[in-house]
Structure 1
Amino acid sequence: MKQRALMALACALASPAMAAASVPAQVQAAPGDGRVRVQMMARQAVTLSGEVAARIAALPVAEGGSFKRGQTLVEFDCGTYRAQLNKAQATQEAANRLAEVNSQLAKLNSAGSLEVAQAQGRAKEAAAEVSYMQTVVGKCSIVAPFAGRVARRVAAVHQYVNPGNPVLDIVDAGPLELRMLLPSKWLTSMKPGSRFTVVVDELGASFPARIERLGAQIDPVSQSIPAVGVIDGGAAALLPGMSGWASFK
């Protein structure tokens, strides 16, 4: 009985703490003034990695520099791979010639069908090797998938990297997205196109903006819904990573 009483007392003491822990975390908002914290992010942010084991020969765009879509951002020293491609092409040429000769000899009954088939098989094998090496050599440079800027150099020129090692972090040059969490109770008055003002901490300036899209699901714990906004017009001074307050009043 005494043990049960002690257990009951412990549960009673612990229950306030457990109740407090189960209270949903609130969205980061300024109470009562219609403001929420907002983070500015690039629409596309990518870490570029090499697909070949090689030494970096050149990184033409400096950190912070701009680039166009399709521009070369990374060049690898692929002399070994190009030599292997040349060897494969020479082997293919010889195999094709042998297949042609055996085919002609077969017409003159001077070569059997087995010899013809073997020669054709070697020609196909050589062609596959050439195709493979062409693919490898094609990965000796990395081109920009979109127009943007180099956010960070992870590797350096002359550094040897393995497949999958990060080389550059890049972000696109398009309009920034404003990421925020809105209280779910605001949904009655919030929709795509709703206007608001962003005050950027780093600049001390305000910009007009609008909601572009709302999330598809409410978080039952924080009672919030993700939202994405965009700045109206151009704002060249804004950079990914800046933050501030979005005011909906």
Structure 2
Amino acid sequence: MNARRILYPAIAAIGISALGAYAYFAQRQPQGPSEQTAAPQAGAAKSGGGTTSPVSVDATQVSTARLIDDINAVGSIRSNEAVVIRPEVSGRIAKLNFSDGQQVKKGQLLIAFDSTVNQAEVQQAKAELGIARANFERTVDLAKQKFISERARDESQANVQVLEAKLALAEARLSKLEIRAPFSGIVGIRTVSVGDYVKDGTDLVNLEDISSVKVDFRVPERYVDQVQKGQGIEVLVDALPGRPFRARVDAIDPQVDSSGRSALLRGRIDNPEGKLKPGMFARVRLILAERDNAMVVPEEAIVPQGNKVTVWKVVDGKATRTEVKTGLRRAAKVEIVEGLQPGDTVVTAGQIRLSKDGTPVRIAQMSGPDGKPVSVSTAPAPKS
């Protein structure tokens, strides 16, 4: 039993040593003629093929599209005209000449206060003025006949003027007891009733003119020089989804907000149906400029190079790096302002394999203006 324990490991060690020696001598044997020449030929093929075979790339043609240079902002809907009706004097309400939410016209009587005392004051002032005028006429006749002095006539005339002013004051106080609509619009919900005693300055009801509405919004200060009166605005309100409203820039605040570094703009929207209400949240799209035939390429075609923006342009089957000037970016498309012409072919994939200008390329897949692949054979030939 002990002999077996010693014998088996010894046999295993001898076998492992024999296999290692065989492998060592097999590796040191000289290669055959075919094996000796295979490696150099492969290296030669590799070095030669890298300079002659074209690089496979994807490409597309420079197309034209309609681009809109715009700014997105948020704002609020405001009435064309809005006012809170407040009395100028204290008094008791005697009449409410409107219903909540009613359409009223300019000059229409809205609220009347108790005016019995003021009417009596007006009547008293008229009576006093009538007596004063009669006395003045008599003093004028007497003065012509030299029965009274000129001073007496002047005092009588001054008394008439004083009483005329007293009458005007009484009539002004009486007029303050009637509140009329300053413009045509819709009254809101009143907060008072007939018989209430209110003090001057108390809020009674709001009046809103919404035949047209304003939309106020802010834009960053860097766009201030690009904004002009009359530019188009597209307004969307969450309360009326899927219904855009057209407007125009009506006013630009000359002062830039120092805290937010933004400028306040106001647009005007016709609202004949009254769908837009003051206070609504608005999403505003301000259109700065529109270009109908702007050159565009896919974003994948742009290759930054330091401070430059370049693309690989394919001419006569060879790729050339071309510097371009870009503009807007919209929907994965980049506007090309300078450097290319409509119809030029640019590389969209495989630029990493292009090392220098003049590298031969093979277009594996050509994309159309809509981004969908088209057959290379049916695609228009690249411009030279």
Question: Residues of 1 paired with 2:195 and 2:160: CA distance?
Answer: 38
Offset of 1:180 from its aligned partner? 0.7
Query: C-alpha deviations, 1:159-211, integer Å up to 9, x for none?
Result: 22333333332111331101111122334654333334322122224323233
- 2:87 is matched with 50
Q: For 1:113-124, what aligned pairs fall within 5 Å after superposition? A: 113-124=150-161
- Give the match's secondary structure for 2:194: coil
> Any idea what the Cα deviations from partners look like across 1:58-106, whole Å, max 9, x if unmatched?
2212222111112112212211101111011111111122222233334
Q: Which amino acid aligns with 2:148?
A: A
Give the match for residue 97 of structure 2.
60
| Alpha-carbon distance change, 34 to 111 in structure 1, aligned in 2, over 3 angstroms | closer
Contact 1:55/1:159 (8 A) holds in 2: yes
> How far apart in 1 are the matches of 2:117 and 2:123?
10
Alignment of 1:211-226 (within 5 A): 211-226=249-264
Establish whether residue 183 from structure 1 lines up as the match of residue 243 from structure 2: no
Give the equivalent residue in structure 2 for 1:202.
Answer: 239
Q: Which has the higher strand share?
A: 2
CA distance in 1: counterparts of 2:165 and 2:117, whole angstroms? 19
Amino acid of the structure 1 residue aligned with 2:117: T
Q: Secondary structure at the match of 1:241?
A: coil
Q: TM-score, normalised by structure 1?
A: 0.76
Aligned partner of 1:245 among 283, 289, 302? 283
| Aligned with residue 269 of structure 2, among 231, 245, 248 | 231
Matched position secondary structure for 1:240: coil
| Displacement after TM superposition at 1:41 (Å) | 0.2
Residues 144 and 232 (structure 1), Cα distance of their counterparts in 2 relative to 1, 3 Å cut: closer
1:103 to 140, 144, 153: 140
CA contact (8 A) 1:180 1:226 kept: yes
Partner of 2:361: none
% same residue: 25
**1:192 corresponding residue in structure 2:** 229
Deviation of the 1:154 alpha carbon? 4.1
Determine the C-alpha separation between the residues in 2 that align with 1:193 and 1:44. 21
Is 57-66 or 85-94 further displaced after alignment? Answer: 57-66
2:50 paired residue number: none
Confirm or deny: 8 A CA contact 2:185 2:210 kept in the other structure. Answer: yes
The one-letter amino acid paired with 2:231 is: S
CA contact (8 A) 1:197 1:206 kept: no
Q: Which runs of 5+ in 1 are unaligned?
A: 1-32
Matched, 1:158 2:184: no
For residues 38 and 83 of structure 1, what CA distance do their matches in structure 2 show?
A: 52
Q: CA RMSD in A?
A: 2.5
| Structure with more relative contact order (C-alpha pairs < 8 Å, separation 6 or more) | 1
Q: Do the aligned residues in 1 keep the contact of 2:236 with 2:245 (CA within 8 Å)?
A: no
Query: Does the Cα contact within 8 Å between 2:77 and 2:280 map onto a contact in 1?
Result: yes
Change (3 A) 1:86 1:233: closer
5+ residue gaps, structure 2, are: 1-69, 288-384
1:89 to 95, 111, 126: 126
**2:88 & 2:233 partners in 1: Cα distance?**
44
- Shift of residue 119 of structure 1? 2.7
Does the 8 Å CA contact 2:210/2:274 hold for their aligned counterparts? no
TM-score, normalization: structure 2? 0.51
Matched position secondary structure for 1:70: coil
- CA deviation after TM superposition for structure 1 residue 109, in Å: 4.3
Whole-Å separation in 2 of the counterparts to 1:168 and 1:83: 29
Counterpart contact for 2:212–2:270, Cα < 8 Å: no
The residue matched to 2:240 in structure 1 has which SS? coil
Give the Cα–Cα distance (whole angstroms) in 2 for the partners of residues 68 and 218 of structure 1.
Answer: 38
What number of residue pairs does the alignment pair up? 217
Question: How far has the Cα of 1:55 moved from its partner?
Answer: 1.5
**Cα distance, 1:95–1:242 mapped onto 2, change above 3 Å:** same
Give the residue type in structure 2 aligned to 1:142.
Answer: I
How far apart, in 1, do the equivalents of 2:271 and 2:136 lie? 65
CA shift in 2, pair 1:188/1:109, >3 Å: closer
Q: Who is 1:125 aligned against? A: 162
CA 1:64–1:113 in 2, change beyond 3 Å: closer, same or farther?
same
Judged with a 3 Å threshold, the aligned counterparts in structure 2 of structure 1 residues 102 and 213 are, in CA distance, closer, same or farther, namely closer
CA distance in structure 2 between the partners assigned to 1:196 and 1:127 by the alignment: 56
Note if contact 1:209-1:229 (Cα within 8 Å) is conserved in structure 2: no
Deviates more, 1:103-112 or 1:50-59: 103-112
Q: Distance in 1 between matches of 2:197 and 2:240?
A: 40
